Amino acid sequence: MAELMFGDCQIGEVGSYFKAAFPGLRALGLQRGQGSELWRMMVLGTYLPRQVYGLSSTSGSKFGSRFNSNNLYLQLHLTKHTRRTMVRTQQPQQQQDATAVSALSASISDGKKHLLLSASGSVATIKLPNILKALGEAHDPSRLSIRVVLTHSAEHFLAGQAEEQPTLEAIRSIPCVDAVYGDADEWGPRPWKRGEGILHIELRKWADMLVIAPLSANTLAKIANGICNNLLTSVVRAWDTDGVVEGRRKRITVCPAMNTAMWRHPITAKQIRTLEKDWGVASAQGESDGGWFEVLPPQEMKLACGDVGVGGMVDWNQIVKAIELTLDLSQDRLGQPT
């Protein structure tokens, strides 16, 4: 995008971040042309010695707390939007094509079973790769397509910090996974134009089933109260709950995961009742009972925080079985006689 070209302290739409943070670059001894490189490095998360830019201790103090142990850095809240924007523009073309709304729309009638698998902000998000790998190893990509939706908080747990917490790039490489989406895919950086598809609507049309594993306390509260302020909750809010729009009722299966005290909180019980009693299905198989929500309740276990009690997400193997049952995938497992 042209507005992301690096000029001297001018980077299109993000130039104001830089100016607001550092209004007096010349007074600090920076030469013409150095400002843009300084900004680029800070946005990419590179920590730079102040001496690289010839900044003295005196001039450096004008940045106040932005200096730490002779390293120059910009507060994350000033670069948050820009870093996301740059990451999106640096994605390989293949990834951009996979997440494009046009590609999604074109795949709605591809004859495959479509699983929309999502995660919200709970540490149990680290079990998402297990679910994906189990499905990818057991099913043919020509028969099953999986698209993943992550909330911003869920991405916090999948950044390659451990073997059980792979990067999003590694998740994209799992068999049957065709795309991974985040909020930026719906709302930026490129402005929407009339005539283009709406991502959360196209995802709803595409999906044969939506699974939220884990469902955090925060996302549970949003869903139960109709709040839709991110991509995942927008999909849920746009779900065809009675099947009139699409001609069929489709399942949403959720797997709550939270601290025991949060699970036992009366507001949680009220919100779960909404999902189970008001919106819930009467059985795992039936579509004619009027419901569209299935809740797989949490289990008692030692939680990540060290507490022992109910709140841990249901075992991921059970989630895989529930997906295969709902999508009628049991007969499509690789290596199974036909």
Give, in order, the Cα–Cα distances in Å from 62 to each of 21, 24, 53, 79, 155. Answer: 11, 9, 14, 19, 35
Nearest Cα to 209, choosing from 235, 185, 228? 235
* pLDDT value of residue 135: 98
Q: What is the chain's pLDDT, residue by residue, as a tens digit (338 residues)?
A: 333 333 333 334 444 444 444 444 444 454 555 555 554 444 444 444 444 444 444 444 444 444 343 333 343 333 344 434 334 434 554 455 556 898 999 999 999 999 999 999 999 999 999 999 999 999 999 999 999 999 999 999 999 999 999 999 999 999 999 999 999 999 877 788 888 899 999 999 999 999 999 999 999 999 999 999 999 999 999 999 999 999 999 999 999 999 999 999 999 999 999 999 999 986 545 555 568 999 999 998 888 888 888 999 999 999 999 999 999 997 777 766 44
Residues acting as catalytic residues: 305
Nearest Cα to 309, choosing from 256, 261, 255, 271? 261
Give, in order, the Cα–Cα distances in Å from 214 to each of 176, 195, 234, 253, 257. Answer: 20, 34, 17, 10, 6
- Cα(105)–Cα(134) distance, rounded to whole angstroms? 26
* pLDDT value of residue 99: 63
- Cα(167)–Cα(160) distance, rounded to whole angstroms? 4
Q: Domain 92-332's class?
A: alpha beta
Helices then strands (H, E): number in the chain? 16, 11
Rounded (to 5) percent helix, strand, coil in the chain: 45, 15, 40
Angle at 327 between CA 322 and CA 332, to 5 degrees: 100
* pLDDT value of residue 70: 38
* pLDDT value of residue 188: 76
For CATH 3.40.50.1950, the residue range(s) in the chain are: 92-332
